[in-house]
Amino acid sequence: MKRVGVLGAGSWGTVLAVLLANKGIKTVLWARNHEFAKQIRESRENTLYLPGFELPAALEITSDISKTVTDKEVILFVVPSHGLREVAKQVSMALDDLPKSPNLPYALVSASKGIENRTLLTMTEIMEEMLPSRLSGRLAALSGPSFAHEVASSMPTAVTIAASEHKLCTGLQDLFTTETFRVYTSLDLMGVQLGGALKNVIAIASGISDGMGFGTNTRAALITRGLAEMSRLGMRLGANPLTFAGLAGLGDLVLTCTGDLSRNRQVGLKLGQGQSIDSILKEMSMVAEGVKTTDSVYAMAEKYKVEMPITNQVYRVLYQGLDPKDAVNELLARPPREELGDIPA
Q: Is the dihedral of CA 246, 249, 255, 257 positive or negative?
A: negative
Domain count for the chain, please give it. 2
Active site residue 303: no
> Are 243 and 187 spatial neighbours (Cβ–Cβ below 8 Å)?
no
Which range of residues forms the domain containing residue 256? 191-332
| Domain containing residue 231: CATH number | 1.10.1040.10
**Cβ contact 210:265 at 8 Å:** yes
pLDDT of 239 higher than 60: yes
Helix, strand, coil percent content, the chain, rounded in steps of 5: 55, 15, 35
Interacting residues of 14 by C-beta distance below 8 A, sequence separation 6+ = 29, 40, 46, 49, 50, 55, 148
Q: Which of 187, 202, 236 represents a domain boundary (last residue)?
A: 187
**Out of 72, 113, 199, 292, which one is annotated catalytic?**
199
The predicted model gives 36-58 an average pLDDT of 96
Residue 175: pLDDT over 70: yes
User: Of 164, 187, 210, which marks where a domain is finished?
Assistant: 187
Range name among 80-89, 101-110, 291-300, 332-341 with the lowest pLDDT average: 101-110
Query: Residue 158 domain-assigned?
Result: yes
Does residue 345 form part of some domain?
A: no
pLDDT band, very low/low/confident/very high, at 97 (cuts 50, 70, 90): low
Under a CB-based contact definition with an 8 Å cutoff, are residues 19 and 176 in contact?
A: yes
What is the per-residue pLDDT across 106-159, written as a single tens digit (0 to 9) for each? 999 999 999 999 999 999 999 999 998 888 889 999 999 999 999 999 999 999
Q: Across residues 219-227, what is the average pLDDT?
A: 97
Domain-ending residue, one of 148, 172, 187: 187
Residue 12: CATH number of its domain? 3.40.50.720
Residues 174 and 210 in one domain: no
Judge if 171 and 240 occupy the same domain.
no
Q: What is the pLDDT of residue 345?
A: 46
By DSSP bridging, strand 3-7 and strand 74-77 are parallel
Q: Are residues 214 and 300 in the same domain?
A: yes
Q: Are residues 160 and 280 in the same domain?
A: no
The answer to whether 293 and 198 have CB atoms below 8 angstroms apart is: yes
My answer on whether 14 and 161 are in the same domain is yes
Backbone angles phi, psi at 225, to 5 degrees: -75, -30
- Report field, pTM of the whole predicted structure over 0.85: yes
In a domain, residue 29? The reply is yes
How would DSSP label each residue in 260-281? TT-HHHHHHHHHHTT--HHHHH
